[in-house]
Amino acid sequence: MKKWLLALVAVPALLVGCTEKEKPVETSQDEELQIPEVEILTPKEVAVNEKVELAAYVFQGKTNIDDASVKFEVWESGKRDEGQMQEGVLDKEGVYKADITFDHDGVYFMYAHTTANSIHVMPKQQITAGNPDMTQVLPEGEDDKMNTMDHGKGASDNTEHEKSESNHN
């Protein structure tokens, strides 16, 4: 009986003694997390049936970000569910590009979905192709007024982002 009692006391004591405490990570003010910035370089007015360069410049402070993930989501006004995604490819020093052609007059919207340094931002821009009849343009929903989202850490949050996006529609 004494052996069992000794074992019941000794095992937890050994386990407590073997645990290692982590030191908190110290960060200076210079190392504070900065949100990456994205400047859309795509023209706001484009011609119909001509190749258009979707382009975004990604930077943080004064540093170009050349390892970001950039996807351009483009849809015609009022038809977001019919939109398309174009993968942005690094062209030069923080500038990502993809090509698209608008086959008819219309008002289009583009999100530059950008993930850099584990932070997701998505600036939005309106693009007018040709000479659309503005009386036929469908209004965008209240949810599309948002132009930046912080989705937390890493690309592994894509599922949460997709759920979030589906809730916006």
DSSP letters spanning 110-133: EEEEEEETTEEE--EEEEEES---
Q: What token pair was written down for 31?
A: 């190392």
Q: Cβ(92)–Cβ(109) under 8 Å?
A: no
Does this model's pTM top 0.75? no
Say how far apart CA 84 and CA 82 lie, in whole Å. 7
pLDDT > 90 in the chain, percent = 56
Say how far apart CA 27 and CA 13 lie, in whole Å. 34
pLDDT of residue 135: 83
Q: Which of 8-17, 81-90, 154-163 is predicted with the least confidence, judged by mean pLDDT?
A: 154-163
Q: Which residue has the higher pLDDT, 14 or 142?
A: 14
DSSP class of residue 105? S
Per-residue model confidence as pLDDT tens digits over 130-151: 999 888 787 775 444 444 444 4
Give, for 108, the enclosing helix (H) or strand (E). Answer: strand 106-116
Q: Which residue has the higher pLDDT, 139 or 162?
A: 139
Per-residue model confidence as pLDDT tens digits over 62-106: 999 999 999 999 999 999 999 999 999 999 999 999 999 999 999
Q: What token pair was written down for 134?
A: 């503005």
Quick check: helix, strand or coil at residue 96? Answer: strand
Q: Cβ(39)–Cβ(17) under 8 Å?
A: no
